[in-house]
Amino acid sequence: MITGGSDNLINLVDIWGGFKHFGTMKATSPVHCLETIHNLTIAGTEDGNILAYDNDTFECLYGYNVLKIKIKCLVLELWKLEQSDVFKSLKIKQGFFFN
């Protein structure tokens, strides 16, 4: 499970391992929405940033300051994402990203 909130943190929790916390990612401002695709998490933040994180290393891979307003909703479509330059810059193997 992946959660985000007003503390500017995105937390990864293992729901099969007794809800054990196993990672934290830092956002630029409070997180209003999250989408996950393979092992990539995309966050929409209060300061208008869209941030992309690697769920294995907990690193922020990309940040886009696209709006001057809060991003409250994200919808990712895999087939459109696969055509993007960001997605093409990552190699995919068996549904997971590898650098």
The per-residue b/e assignment along 4-32, b for 16 or more CB within 10 angstroms, e otherwise, is: beeebebbbeeeeeeeeeeeebebbbebb
Specify the pLDDT at position 7: 95
Specify the pLDDT at position 81: 58
Report residues of the chain scoring pLDDT below 70. 75-99
Specify the pLDDT at position 68: 78
Predicted TM-score (pTM) of the model is: 0.72
Specify the pLDDT at position 60: 92
Which residues sit opposite 21 in a β-bridge? 13
Specify the pLDDT at position 99: 36
